[in-house]
C-alpha cells in the first residue's frame, strides 16, 4: 500500500475543466481528488483564470448539491478517488448551508468535508469561552453530518484558531478521530505553525487525516512607521520551502497508515498544470525513498 498517495485540490487548476483536471491527474499518478464548491466573486467574472478568481470548472454549492452524483461518477470513471470537499463556510454558517455541502459530498461519494473554525476576535479575548463555543458547534455539525456518513475536517490554516498543533488539539481532543480530523497544511504551517515536525505530528497523530502539500517561504515586507520590518509569506516550489519537506514526509510515513498528500500550490505566474507537474516531479524521489525503505 502507498501510505502517502498524491492528490490535488481542483481549484489550483483553474484553466482546466473537470475532465481535463482528471485526465492530468491520471497521467501524473495523482489519485485523490479534492473539490471546492464556491461562488465566483462578481469582480472575477470574465477575467483571466485564477485560482482565487475565475475558473473554467466553476462549481457552486447549489450545483454540487444537484449534480454531485454525476460529478462523483466522472471522478471514479477517471480512476480517481473522490476524497474531500473544502467549501468556504465557517463552522458558524447556518445549518442549511452546511447541509447543502453535505448533500453534494454524499451524493458524489466524498467521505470528508472541511469546516473552518469559528473566527476569533482580533483583540485579546476570553479563549476558554471561545473554545467551549467552538467545540459545541463542531459537536452539532458532526451530528448533522452523521446521516450523510461524512467525517468533518479542520484545516490548520493561518488566521484560524487551529493554526498550530496545540491549538488544534484543544478542539480535536473532544472528538473521536473517526468523526473529526485535521489537515496538516504545510504552507500555512510555515506561516503560523512553527513547531518541530515530530512534536506537532505527535500531538495530533490520532486525528491526522491528510496533508496539504505546498511550499512557502517567508519574505520581508515594508517597514512600519516606527521602522520595524513586517514579514509575510509567498508560495514557492517544494524544494524552496522554509519547511524541509522530506523531514515532514518521513515523520508522516512513520504513522504507519495512509495519509494522502493533497497538492496545493498557488504561486503566481505559472499555470496550475505546470505547478502540479513540478510538485509531482519534486516529491517523487522523496516518496520513492520512503516506500522502498
Check whether 194 has a pLDDT greater than 90: no
Check whether 73 has a pLDDT greater than 60: yes
The x, y and z cell numbers of residue 35, run together, are 473539490
The confidence score (pLDDT) of residue 191 equals: 86
- Block residue for cell numbers 495530533: 204
Residue 60 makes CB contacts below 8 A (sequence gap 6+) with: 37, 38, 39
* Arithmetic mean of pLDDT, 42-63: 89
% of the chain exceeding 90 in pLDDT: 87
Predicted model pTM: 0.96
| pLDDT averaged over every residue in the chain | 95
Please answer whether residues 178 and 140 qualify as being in contact, where contact means their C-beta atoms are separated by less than 8 angstroms. Answer: no
Please answer whether residues 38 and 63 qualify as being in contact, where contact means their C-beta atoms are separated by less than 8 angstroms. Answer: no
Sign of CA dihedral 13, 187, 156, 204: positive
The confidence score (pLDDT) of residue 42 equals: 84
The confidence score (pLDDT) of residue 37 equals: 94
Please answer whether residues 287 and 3 qualify as being in contact, where contact means their C-beta atoms are separated by less than 8 angstroms. Answer: no
- Block residue for cell numbers 516506500: 291
Phi, psi angles (nearest 5°) of residue 286:
-65, -45
pLDDT tens for 100-143 read 999 999 999 999 999 999 999 999 999 999 999 999 999 999 99
The confidence score (pLDDT) of residue 1 equals: 56
Query: Of 132-141, 203-212, 224-233, which range is least confident?
Result: 224-233
* Arithmetic mean of pLDDT, 157-179: 96
CA distance 204 to 153: 13
The confidence score (pLDDT) of residue 276 equals: 98
The confidence score (pLDDT) of residue 51 equals: 86
CA distance 26 to 5: 13
| Residue 2: count of CB within 10 angstroms of its CB | 12
Sign of CA dihedral 154, 200, 280, 3: negative
CA distance 211 to 56: 26
**Nearest one of 241, 158, 169 to 193, comparing CA atoms:** 158
**CATH superfamily, with its number, for domain 6-291:** Divalent-metal-dependent TIM barrel enzymes (3.20.20.150)
Amino acid at each position: 500500500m502507498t501510505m502517502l498517495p498524491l492528490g490535488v485540490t481542483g481549484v489550483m487548476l483553474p484553466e482546466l475543466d473537470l475532465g481535463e483536471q482528471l485526465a492530468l491527474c491520471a497521467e501524473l499518478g495523482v489519485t485523490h481528488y479534492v473539490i471546492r464548491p464556491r461562488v465566483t466573486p462578481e469582480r472575477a467574472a470574465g477575467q483571466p483564470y485564477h485560482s482565487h478568481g475565475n475558473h473554467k470548472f466553476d462549481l457552486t454549492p447549489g450545483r454540487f448539491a444537484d449534480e454531485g452524483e454525476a460529478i462523483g461518477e466522472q471522478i471514479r470513471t477517471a480512476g480517481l478517488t473522490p476524497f474531500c470537499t473544502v467549501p468556504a463556510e465557517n463552522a458558524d454558517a447556518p445549518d442549511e448551508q452546511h447541509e447543502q455541502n453535505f448533500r453534494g459530498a454524499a451524493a458524489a461519494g466524498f467521505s470528508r468535508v472541511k469546516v473552518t473554525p469559528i473566527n476569533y476576535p482580533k483583540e485579546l479575548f476570553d479563549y476558554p469561552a471561545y473554545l467551549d463555543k467552538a467545540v459545541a458547534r463542531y459537536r452539532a455539525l458532526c451530528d448533522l453530518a452523521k446521516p450523510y456518513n461524512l467525517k468533518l475536517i479542520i484545516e490548520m490554516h493561518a488566521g484560524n484558531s487551529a493554526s498550530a498543533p496545540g491549538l488544534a488539539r484543544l478542539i480535536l481532543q473532544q472528538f473521536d478521530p473517526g468523526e473529526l480530523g485535521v489537515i496538516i497544511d504545510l504552507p500555512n504551517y510555515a506561516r503560523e505553525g512553527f513547531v518541530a515536525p515530530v512534536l506537532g505530528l505527535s500531538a495530533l497523530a490520532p486525528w491526522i487525516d491528510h496533508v496539504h502539500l505546498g511550499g512557502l517561504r517567508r519574505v520581508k515586507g515594508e517597514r512600519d512607521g516606527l521602522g520595524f520590518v513586517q514579514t509575510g509569506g509567498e508560495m514557492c516550489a517544494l524544494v524552496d520551502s522554509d519547511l524541509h519537506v522530506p523531514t515532514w514526509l518521513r515523520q508522516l510515513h512513520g504513522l504507519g497508515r495512509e495519509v494522502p498528500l493533497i497538492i496545493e500550490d498557488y504561486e503566481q505566474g505559472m499555470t496550475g498544470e505546470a505547478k502540479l507537474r513540478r510538485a509531482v516531479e519534486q516529491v517523487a524521489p522523496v516518496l520513492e525513498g520512503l516506500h522502498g525503505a
